[in-house]
Structure 1
Amino acid sequence: MSTTTSPLIRTMTKNYDRQKTELCVLLKRRRGSNHTNHALPDTALLSLLLAVFLPLLLEVNSSFFVASGNAVNHLPTTSVSTASQSGTGGNTVPCSAPPISQAVRDQLVNDFSDVFQTGRWASIQTSGENLADLKFFCEKSKSESTFRKYRYAFNSWIKWCYSQSPKVQHFPASDFNVSIYLINLSKQFNSVAKVNEAFYAISWAHEISGTQNPCHSSLVVSVLEGARRLSAKPVTKKEPITSEILQQIVNRYGTGSSSLPDIRISCMCLLSYAAFLRFSELVNLKRSDITFYEDHLSLYISKSKTDKYKTGSNVIVSKTNNVTCSYGMLQLYLKIADIASDSDCFIFRALSFCKKSGKYKLRNSGPLSYSRARELLLNALESVGVDKSKFGLHSLRSGGATAAANAGVSDRLFKKHGRWRSDNAKDGYVHENVKSLMSVSQSLNI
């Protein structure tokens, strides 16, 4: 039989043409974006190689595949596979595949490829470029972090299905199997977050493919609610930092003769407190985002947790001329750190000590890490005699919010200043003082 007309060669050629089209679209998109490196990522090139040579590896009983103790005997349906185990269509190449090692299986099950081959996607007839654009825009309907969580959770679901005996069909899935999987997660991790991630990932995969969604079943919904109730734990929130604690930190670290590390932690605390800043908003501040006026400063928050369309927002912080004035502390920090007014660098970065000058200076690096910032704050709290176990970085934002709420700031200005989208989220940051709580019963005239 001529190799040029065999099903194997035809499959390899077809996979190559399809994958090449998608990679050309990806390359064109990268060149039109802000990427400095226009070359294709290694994962894209790897997928091209897998698309072409995987059928050959399956056809030939190669000794390069080493079976592991819990390896599966067939591949999941992916964009690089040609045989469909569920019979949903596609070119099938008869082969007798050897057991696949865990490493190979993990490499192949790395995205929602099954989702984009089933349901509505199986009947779409369009160019490879249009198909790649459809996938890209569907993926971008979720934030990068959400999509990353969905992909990880969906992969975990696939691996669980292949570990069952007999093996379970992972997509489209049945409500019974999804229910059993959620119960398994609840027992194994005792975590509401873990169960929720699996539920929403599986649900989104079926919704985007247009197949029947097992997560709409009353059985799955009941199991999910049961898992949430059984895994629920008391939430212990960190306490808000008060203005008195800030005063102690500034008195110790924020004087004019203090070193750059001391001024930095003072400035970070005051700015987070006064502007209700989340940690991600604080460390991503650049000098170009800050504008000083005679009686206030303006912070441009280019990216925020609740700003999913990246419209940006401005936060106004007043100049108070007190020792704890964030306006004055920020000016002092920028001066000591030698950050030029036209600089586009992150203002809160790691430090390095220069032996020649005997002083600290900012590194030419990215923003300060969460773990390092948390360590600096807890060390500062401990040094002023405060129990650091009760506080965290979020205590600065909740502390400012609590002080503003107890001072009677209107809800409209309160939500705008803190960039909250809902009243529930806003109210979760406020810790009412005893005097405010007493006012309820005092108003009852008894």
Structure 2
Amino acid sequence: MTGRKRKTSEIPDERTIDISENQNGDEVHELPASSERAIHNEAGRKSTNETKIDSLSQAIDTIQQSLLSLTNVVSKLQQQNPNQSTPTSEPDRVNLPSGSRVPSDSVPYVETVSTNLRNNIIQDDKIQRSSSSSSSNASTSTILERINPVLEKESRDLCESSISDNTRRAYRTGFTVYCQFLSSIGIEAPNYNPPKISEQTLIYFVTHCCNSLKLTYNTIKLYLAAVRFHYVKAGISNPLSSDESCARLQTVLRGIQKQQSSKQKRRPITYSVLIQIQNVLQRGMFGYFLDTMLQAACSLAFFAFLRCGEFTVNDINQDNLLCVEDVVMDRNYKAYTITLKRSKTDPFRTGIQIHLFQSDQTVCPVKSMLKYLNLRRKWYNCVMSSALFTDESGNPLSSHFFITKLKQILKLLGLDDENFNGHSFRIGAATSAAGGQVEDHLIKTLGRWSSDCYTRYIRSDDQTLSRAQKAMCCQKTV
């Protein structure tokens, strides 16, 4: 019947399907348009997937045929060179019809990468891992510095405190020269941060210092110590560390030392030369105040075995400035004691006391000091915390001023002033003591030398030290 009503049936997805009759009376299910499109798309996807599978099958067949061809070539090469070892046994050659497949586990292994290339790849991977590890450590160090900037600064300050002011200045000069040399050969040290170097770089630096800068062996050794200190402070390894031998560098240094051994060394200011200096100053040369001050400074430097930096200054703000309060006279004015706040042999800055006694000779350290202190009180108001040795204006005695005046006196005496400097008093004191038959352990005690540790256990009373200083004046003039 054509007039029959349309029936509907519900399906789970709540969509309706129209049911009608055709001309023959059969029921016809009419799907919605969206369902028809879905069925069409599903058929298209199946067709596309089948196409891809066919393409992959063809590709696999091609690869298998290529592998079998390669296997046949390798087999022929093995037959031609039977002595050459191969990583696998000779595989069976199988001729497969086109389109057939071979299981993957039956395909023979073929070495397609050479052994050297494989080792290089493995080694390169190790290098990359190592470098990445180093980068990680460096980044960790950088992160720590950013997190603890205060601790980083304090740790660097403690490193600086491990050396004296004079050593710090010398190291700063040496490291500046080193950085300038690195820049000249194309190695940058931004903001004076030490870069990584090799032993060969240090050899070139030492050669540059010797031949171009004309530095002495001792100065070059000092500059190398400066380089090592800055690398240690920065936490960067260098060839000068204790675990490195640097055999070639040491050989070059010995060559420099031997080459310079024939040069004139610093001459000592012995007691006989000191007498001549005192005579010139007593006659008058730079004015009454300066002459009196220099007499006291020279006699103190000689009898106390002082280094030039222990009684002069390079910087007014030095905390080891020798002051008036550091000189204490005894009740009878026959001896006095000076206190050095810092010294080369006093690394922990506990202070060193040196006792000086009357010599009853032409040059007496006690009489010279008393004369100068009395004049200083009359010349201007004497403040106990002020510098002990000053010029007429009250400026602390600098090492440059002292050595300049000393060279003028020596030149007037007809001596070669180029071979004398501020350290000549210490050298001359030891020479005069040896000439006066002073025992070795007393010389080491008077000079505060740290070598031969047995001298630290020998107790020398004031009378013994007094006799030793008097004996220094008994050397025969040659």
Fold in common (TM above 0.5): yes
Alpha-carbon distance in 2 for matches of 1:188, 1:317: 45
CA contact (8 A) 2:199 2:249 kept: no
Q: Who is 1:172 aligned against?
A: 196
Q: How much does 1:288 deviate?
A: 0.5
Q: Who is 1:52 aligned against?
A: none
Trace 1:310-389 onto structure 2 (pairs within 5 A).
310-338=349-377, 343-351=384-392, 363-365=393-395, 367-383=396-412, 385-389=413-417
CA contact (8 A) 1:175 1:219 kept: no
Q: Who is 2:438 aligned against?
A: 409
Q: Which whole-Å deviations, capped at 9, do the CAs of 1:61-105 have from their partners, x for residues lacking one?
A: xxxxxxxxxxxxxxxxxxxxxxxxx98649xxxxxxxxxxxxxxx
Q: Who is 1:287 aligned against?
A: 324
Find 2:251's aligned residue among 216, 221, 225: 225
Q: Give the residue type in structure 1 aligned to 2:239.
A: P
Using the TM superposition, name which of 292-301 and 198-207 deviates more: 198-207
Q: Give the residue type in structure 2 aligned to 1:326.
A: P
Alpha-carbon distance in 2 for matches of 1:203, 1:214: 9
What TM-score do the two structures reach when normalised by structure 2?
0.52
CA contact (8 A) 2:164 2:344 kept: no
CA contact (8 A) 1:321 1:328 kept: no
Change (3 A) 1:286 1:229: same
Alpha-carbon distance in 2 for matches of 1:220, 1:201: 17
Q: Tell me which structure has the larger Cα radius of gyration.
A: 2
Q: Give the residue type in structure 1 aligned to 2:295.
A: S
Q: Who is 1:245 aligned against?
A: 273
Q: Which whole-Å deviations, capped at 9, do the CAs of 1:279-334 have from their partners, x for residues lacking one?
A: 22223432111111123111112222222221211111112344422211211111
CA contact (8 A) 1:273 1:400 kept: yes
Alpha-carbon distance in 2 for matches of 1:402, 1:174: 42
CA contact (8 A) 1:250 1:323 kept: no
Using the TM superposition, name which of 143-152 and 222-231 deviates more: 143-152
Q: Which aligned runs of 4 or more in structure 1 are off by greater than 6 angstroms?
A: 165-170
Q: Give the residue type in structure 2 aligned to 1:141.
A: S
Find 2:151's aligned residue among 130, 147, 150: 130
CA contact (8 A) 1:179 1:219 kept: no
CA contact (8 A) 1:247 1:324 kept: yes
**3-state DSSP of counterpart to 2:157:** helix
Alpha-carbon distance in 2 for matches of 1:418, 1:326: 16
Q: Give the residue type in structure 1 aligned to 2:293.
A: R
Alpha-carbon distance in 1 for matches of 2:434, 2:400: 29
Trace 1:144-183 onto structure 2 (pairs within 5 A).
144-147=165-168, 149-150=170-171, 153-154=174-175, 161=182, 164=185, 171-183=195-207
Paired positions, count: 304
CA RMSD of aligned residues (A): 4.1
**3-state DSSP of counterpart to 2:311:** helix
Change (3 A) 1:343 1:403: same
Q: Which whole-Å deviations, capped at 9, do the CAs of 1:336-363 have from their partners, x for residues lacking one?
A: 2226676221121122xxxxxxxxxxx1
Q: How much does 1:136 deviate?
A: 2.7
CA contact (8 A) 1:214 1:220 kept: yes
Q: How much does 1:377 deviate?
A: 2.1
Change (3 A) 1:123 1:279: same
Change (3 A) 1:146 1:334: closer
Q: Who is 2:106 aligned against?
A: none
Q: How much does 1:182 deviate?
A: 4.6
1:213 to 2:238 alignment = yes
Gaps of 5+ in 1: 1-85, 91-116, 352-362, 436-446
Using the TM superposition, name which of 181-190 and 293-302 deviates more: 181-190
Q: Which whole-Å deviations, capped at 9, do the CAs of 1:382-424 have from their partners, x for residues lacking one?
A: 44x4424354333322222222222232333322222221259
CA contact (8 A) 1:240 1:395 kept: yes
Change (3 A) 1:201 1:235: same
What TM-score do the two structures reach when normalised by structure 1?
0.56
Q: Who is 1:307 aligned against?
A: 346
CA contact (8 A) 1:264 1:348 kept: yes
Q: How much does 1:273 deviate?
A: 1.7
Q: How much does 1:164 deviate?
A: 4.7
Q: Give the residue type in structure 2 aligned to 1:345.
A: S
Change (3 A) 1:259 1:157: closer
CA contact (8 A) 2:156 2:233 kept: no
**Percent identity of the aligned residues?**
23
CA contact (8 A) 1:381 1:388 kept: yes
**3-state DSSP of counterpart to 1:344:** coil
Q: Give the residue type in structure 2 aligned to 1:121.
A: S
Q: How much does 1:180 deviate?
A: 4.8
Alpha-carbon distance in 2 for matches of 1:285, 1:133: 28
Alpha-carbon distance in 1 for matches of 2:367, 2:475: 32
